């Protein structure tokens, strides 16, 4: 891509490093943002989502929304409304509308696993795209911020 969007390649040697990335994202997150988490099965998408949601103040379990598809978290238990979605089971991006995603999003930040199954969010100026890939040690995160993320990359 030559659109000038900042791109970072962050080595994540172990699960603790994945948690630390989630905390850095949480510290920079605003309403209306999208954190698009892509990468294969078991690459750590839910791990990052859990770290973000915990860092925003949520105590207790963060279920993987692979069956519910959408799980929301609202203040006061979190400092920012969050919509955590796992689009893996969608067969067609048109189903996103039927889910009522726009109503859930409103002022929330959206954390999206399998974003490509929902048509992708990379053209949203508030999208932080994170692709997780295997590395010799642990994982590598390829992080790309759209316009609204300039100056606040994690
Ligand atoms: N940096 C890392 N290095 C090694 N293992 C890691 C790292 N980060 C997370 N893990 C481990 O990888 C697994 C990731 O599972 P997780 O459920 O987060 O994946 P996922 O991408 O959400 O998978 P799915 O597509 O099935 O939803 C967990 O067992 C976690 O402990
Ligand atoms: Mg997952």
Atom nearest to 64 CA in ligand 1: 27
Helix (H, G, I), strand (E, B) or coil at 39: coil
Average pLDDT over residues 45-74: 96
User: Nearest 5°: phi and psi at 94?
Assistant: -65, -25
For range 98-117, the mean pLDDT: 94
Question: Which residue lies with its CA nearest to atom 25 of ligand 1?
Answer: 41
Say how many Å lie between the CA of residue 114 and the centre of ligand 1: 14
70 within a domain of the structure (yes/no)? yes
Q: Is 1 part of any domain?
A: no
Q: Is residue 153 part of a domain?
A: no
Q: What CATH number is attached to the domain comprising 128?
A: 3.40.50.300
Q: How much is the pLDDT for 6?
A: 84
Number of domains in the chain: 1
Mean pLDDT of 100-104: 92
What is the pTM (predicted TM-score) of this model? Answer: 0.96
The answer to the question of residue 29 being in a domain is yes
Which amino acids bring their CB within 6 angstroms of ligand 1? 12, 14-15, 17-18, 39, 41-47, 64, 66, 113, 138-139
Residue 2 has pLDDT above 60, yes or no: no
Which structural domain, as residue segments, surrounds residue 26? 7-148
Strand order in the sheet with 109-113: 7-12, 139-145, 127-134, 34-38, 109-113, 82-86, 70-73
- pLDDT exceeds 50 at position 105: yes
User: Whose CA is closest to atom 8 on ligand 1?
Assistant: 15
Residue 154 covered by a domain: no
Q: How sure is the predictor about 126, in pLDDT bands with cuts at 50, 70 and 90?
A: very high
| pLDDT tens figures, 137-149 | 999 999 999 999 9
């Amino acid at each position: 891509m030559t659109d000038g969007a900042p791109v970072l390649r962050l080595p994540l040697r172990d699960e603790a490093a994945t948690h630390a990335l989630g905390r850095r994202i949480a510290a920079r997150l605003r309403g209306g943002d999208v954190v698009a988490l892509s990468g294969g099965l078991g690459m750590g998408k839910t791990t990052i989502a859990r770290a973000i949601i915990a860092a925003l103040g949520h105590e207790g379990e963060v279920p993987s929304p692979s069956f519910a598809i959408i799980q929301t978290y609202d203040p006061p238990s979190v400092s920012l409304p969050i919509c955590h979605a796992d689009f893996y089971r969608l067969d067609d991006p048109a189903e996103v509308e039927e889910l009522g995603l726009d109503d859930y999003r409103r002022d929330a930040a959206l954390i999206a696993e399998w974003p490509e199954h929902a048509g992708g969010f990379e053209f949203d100026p508030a999208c932080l795209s994170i692709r997780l890939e295997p590395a010799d040690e642990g994982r590598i995160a390829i992080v790309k911020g759209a316009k609204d993320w300039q100056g606040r990359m994690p």
